[in-house]
Amino acid sequence: MSAASAPPPAEANPNMAMPRANGGNGARWLVLKAAVTFALLAYLASKIDLVGLETKLRTLALSPLALAAAIIMAEVPIVAFRWMVLARRTGAQMSYMLALRLTFEGLFFGQVLPASIGGDVVRGWLGAGNGVALQPLIASLILDRLIALLAAVMLIAAALPWITATTLQMSAQISIVVVLVVLGGLFVDLLPLPAPLKNIRLVSTIRDLISQTRRSLFSKSGAGAVLISLAVHVMTIVAVTAIAASLGVGDVISASAIVVPVALVAAAMPVSVNGWGVREGVMVAGFAVFGVAQTDAFLISVLLGFSVVLSAMPGGLTWLNLR
């Protein structure tokens, strides 16, 4: 990776207050997403065997579950390193320890915000409060999110020849199209603009930001970040397989390699709170193709979600410690 060595940023204001929702509109939008999450989870819960669910929870094997939780926790320092590399590539001066702390804190607050985007907003807000230059900081966050999605899409594309079920195949294809469209947006700054628009400062800033993000994506640092993201996704697939083993489901490594990347892309869409409900829906439908019972698939997804929540707890502690 070609991230230039840089001194750590001046941690100017660790006590900076959290951003607040933009009036009633922000609150209503969050309530709507919470309603979507509740509705999706309620619908899925209505389709599963509650007696069987209780039995599964009583006979849960703790060792594989603890292994899954440890894997998910281990992902956070790796993701923080990826972000630091990308931040330095875009010109944002950030130490690894600052990136790690902000990643934990973004993950913590992201548990009650829309998809993973909410956590990115928190990372950006706190990063700016710690003296990181805003424009390269925003570019690094966009790049970090795009590369994570791109890596998931690469896994989905690799698995397409083995996806025969129409529903799962359609979900995979939609995931690929959505991410490719977003990536295509990185080239809009190359389109000609009328002279009056070129003179608008906001338009010029956005074009510079897009150009900066694109150049960073197609760099050695960007390529290294893609490899890191692939490794993180593989770790999640292994964690899901361990959760399945804790439920006595058996070997689902092949199914997880196909279903998990699709679920990760779907959960990243900002239509529910931290992807809850959406992730469960995709995993229930996806694992059903491979003969996994709805109750088991639902529990696998929920326990994965709880593992993520557990991994976010250090972010709450560090944030409170700095207040």
pLDDT of 163-195, one tens digit each? Answer: 766 666 677 777 778 778 877 887 887 888 777
Instruction: Give residue 26's pLDDT.
Output: 54
pLDDT at position 170: 72
Percent of the chain with pLDDT over 90: 33
Average pLDDT over residues 294-319: 90
The letter for the amino acid at 188 is V
What average pLDDT does range 205-210 have in this prediction? 80
Longest dimension (CA), the chain: 68
Alpha carbon distance, N-terminus to C-terminus of the chain: 35
User: Which residues lie closer than 8 Å to 1 by C-beta, 6 or more apart?
Assistant: 85, 220, 221, 223, 224, 225
- Does pLDDT of 282 surpass 60? yes
Phi, psi of 12 (to 5 degrees): -70, -45
265 in Cβ contact with 147 (< 8 Å):
no
pLDDT of residue 98: 95
3-state secondary structure of 98: helix
Model confidence pLDDT, tens digit, residues 16-73: 444 444 445 556 655 665 665 666 556 556 555 555 666 777 788 889 999 999 999 9
Instruction: Concatenate the DSSP letters of all residues of 42-107 into one string.
Output: HHHHHTS-HHHHHHHHHT--HHHHHHHHHHHHHHHHHHHHHHHHHHHHHT----HHHHHHHHHHHH
- pLDDT in the model for residue 281: 85
Q: What is the mean pLDDT of residues 89-118?
A: 86
Smallest Cα–Cα separation from 80: which of 51, 117, 105? 105
Can you name the residues that pair with 273 across neighbouring β-strands? 114
- Label residue 8 by pLDDT band (50, 70, 90): very low
Whole-model pTM: value is 0.78
CA atoms of 272 and 62, how far apart (whole Å): 29
- Picking from 304, 295, 238, the residue whose alpha carbon sits closest to that of residue 275 is 304
Using the predicted structure, report yes or no on whether residue 265 has a pLDDT greater than 60: yes
CA dist 247 and 88 (Å) reads 42
* Residue bearing tokens 């973004």: 106
